[in-house]
Structure 1
């Protein structure tokens, strides 16, 4: 019997490495399938074909489509966090970081993995099994997202503001998928950034202490004087 060479021994993967490699193939294939065909047309058979593995190998990792979709949502979120940090790495000013977040969020959520997650979330409306699988995943992501925002934004986090930005950007992502040849959506994101800057400058966006420290314009001074004389 011939002994294996050192190079052959080095390339031999452990069971854990093989499993991780299979999951990566399934993640990439799921994202591609969801992006190209939508949730309704995405099946485990099609995903397995795209990944180049047997359906049995897929089911060994994920017993159902719902299990695989829940994994995709969580895995994409982990990728998103890394991408946000990289995109905002050189922006240190808290106000500018908030403004830059809008474009960063667009770059993250408009790419195929972001659209794939939106497809899954929309699909859960009519898939009770998927909706149930997603509950603990979404709860973990919600807590992790809040902690990440507190750490990364370098300012007080306004939940309504970030929900508003998330809603706008998700809507624009869907719009781009539906009408890819339409108007350049990045112009809408740039407008959002200008609105954020205006909100920061006027005190509409920011902490009460920071807003109070800004000099009042003529209209604000007049309003304050009227209030004080009443």
Structure 2
């Protein structure tokens, strides 16, 4: 994995230095989770990778769980930024909706996505993390819901939000599964191109139906290949 660029620590006010230190810690924590996994990630290791004192790290993240929740929020934001970057060339509306599959898949191939998967899986067995994780997950779902509302509005069909949400959720969980295959099983699924093509086809069919003013069809979309 390519090393993250080393950010320069500002010589300005304390707030700037604190923000720069936090950024170094977050980059190191993402790298640690992605390269070594949740069990091997510790505050001393992250501090060493970030080239900051353990005291500086503990000042911002007093416990490992504080650090992990912080990196989950950071990694989630990084994934969202990657999706938006991928979609920048496409205008709001059908084009952006159709290319959403590629954007989500691109974001899942980043170290931040791997780090977030590690945190999600660990929340099942780590009692302290399990207690804190639902708040993060709820905030993330609320953010995704707001994005899907905007998606439905940009498609000109706010009344079809339920269907848009179903398609977006299917995209997310299907591609998460493919990413899990490549990260945790260590192989690229031979079905990867077919799954991505099917998800794109599903969105194209929905866009075509919306253009034609077709009836609401949640759960009734024809999945036969064209």
What is the TM-score with the length of structure 1 in the denominator?
A: 0.76
The equivalent of 1:226 in structure 2 is none
- CA pair 53-93 structure 1, distance change in 2 beyond 3 A: closer
User: Pairwise mapping of residues 114-125 of structure 1 onto structure 2 (< 5 A)?
Assistant: 114-125=113-124
Name the structure 1 match of 2:204.
197
Task: Tell me if the contact between 1:80 and 1:108 (Cα under 8 Å) persists in the aligned partners.
Answer: yes
Deviations 1:147-173 (A, max 9, x none): 123225623443222221111111111
Q: Does structure 2 conserve the Cα–Cα contact (< 8 Å) formed by 1:35 and 1:112?
A: yes
Counting only pairs closer than 5 Å after superposition, residues 80-119 of structure 1 correspond to structure 2 as 80-92=79-91, 94-119=93-118
Matching residue of 1:161: 167
| Greater fraction of residues in helix | 1
* TM-score, normalization by structure 2: 0.77
Which residue of structure 1 aligns with residue 140 of structure 2?
A: 141
1:210 aligns with 2:213: yes
Q: Any unmatched runs of 5+ in structure 2? A: 1-9, 217-226
Gaps of 5+ in 1: 1-10, 214-230
- Over the aligned positions, Cα root-mean-square deviation in angstroms equals 2.5
Shift of 1:55: 1.8
Q: Answer 1 or 2: higher relative contact order, Cα 8 Å, separation at least 6.
A: 1
1:142 deviates by 1.9
Q: Any idea what the Cα deviations from partners look like across 1:24-74, whole Å, max 9, x if unmatched?
A: 111111111111111122111211111112222211110111111111111
Task: Pick closer, same or farther for the CA change 1:139–1:53 going to 2, 3 Å.
Answer: same
Which is further off, 34-43 or 179-188?
A: 179-188
